[in-house]
Structure 1
Amino acid sequence: MTNIITYDIARYFYTKNIPVIPRLCSRLTRLIYSCEIPYTASIHPTVHFAHKGLGVVIGHDTEIGEGCKILHNVTIGGRSGIRANPTLGKNVLVGAGACILGDVKVGDNVSIGANAVVLKDVSANCISVGVPARVINK
């Protein structure tokens, strides 16, 4: 279970095709945690949001794999109105203030540095930093 309980409740009712409760939970998430984590995003239960996801914004169709850690003020979503959201693999660390934008695939065991802007795919077992992000270590 992720540490954002309102997301877990909303996702459960969304998968059961109950429309009203997920929307209420989504609003509660925004109010209580100051973040935007839609119930339509596929987030593995072992994902950890540091600081209860403070300032995190996630796109609607984003997929986040198991064991990921997402720090505060992270944006993971579409780009310029195009509804193509990122996919994060297993054990990805996303540093504070990082942005992962567009139809981007991030491999397993990747670390993304603080304030990095990821616009292209990142292969597995890499460290990616900078604006725009580039791989510095494999």
Structure 2
Amino acid sequence: MTNIKTYDIARYLYKKRIPVLPRIFSRLTRVLYSCEIPYTADIHTSVKFAHKGLGVVIGHDTSIGKNTKILQNVTIGGRNGVRANPIIGENVLIGANSSILGKVIVGDNAQIGAHALVLSDVPANETFVGIPAKSTKKL
């Protein structure tokens, strides 16, 4: 279960089509945890946020699969004002201060290194590091 309960409540209310309350809980998430995790993002309940999601920013249409771990100060969202957000697979580790931007697919069991800037797809079972991020197999 995620450690950001306010997101869970807001997502539940959003799915039940209850107006206004999801926005209130979304703002509460921002105040309590210093992060931006919109209730419109599809985040599996088993996703773990290190340090209660401190500094994490997630785009509105982002999808994050089960057993993913997201460390602090991570940005996952669109780029250049386009709402084309990433799809994160299952069992992914996203390192501190990394950014995954644009219509990117991160495969299952992938790892994103700290401070990485991911602008292209990450195949399953690979580790990406650097700016821009590249597979460690090719380095």
Q: Which runs of 4+ in 1 moved over 4 A?
A: none
SS in 1 for 2:10: helix
The offset of 1:137, in angstroms, is 3.5
TM-score (norm 2): 0.98
2:129 and 2:13 map into 1 onto residues whose CA distance is 37
Q: What residue in structure 1 maps to residue 31 of structure 2?
A: 31
1:137 and 1:91 map into 2 onto residues whose CA distance is 20
Q: What residue in structure 1 maps to residue 42 of structure 2?
A: 42
Q: What residue in structure 2 maps to residue 3 of structure 1?
A: 3
Query: Structure 1, residues 12-63: CA drift from partner, whole Å, max 9, x if none?
Result: 0000000111000000000000000000000000000000000000000000
Task: Give the AA of the match of 1:15.
Answer: K
Q: What residue in structure 2 maps to residue 12 of structure 1?
A: 12
Q: What residue in structure 2 maps to residue 73 of structure 1?
A: 73
Q: What residue in structure 1 maps to residue 91 of structure 2?
A: 91
Question: Structure 1: which 5+ runs fail to align?
Answer: none
Q: What residue in structure 2 maps to residue 115 of structure 1?
A: 115
TM-score (norm 1): 0.98
SS in 2 for 1:52: helix
Is residue 2:136 matched to residue 1:136? Answer: yes
Task: Give the AA of the match of 2:127.
Answer: I
Aligned length: 138
SS in 1 for 2:17: coil
Q: What residue in structure 2 maps to residue 103 of structure 1?
A: 103
Matches within 5 A, 1:45-60: 45-60=45-60
1:15 and 1:66 map into 2 onto residues whose CA distance is 19
1:103 and 1:121 map into 2 onto residues whose CA distance is 8
Task: Give the AA of the match of 1:87.
Answer: I
The offset of 1:2, in angstroms, is 1.1
1:124 and 1:31 map into 2 onto residues whose CA distance is 35
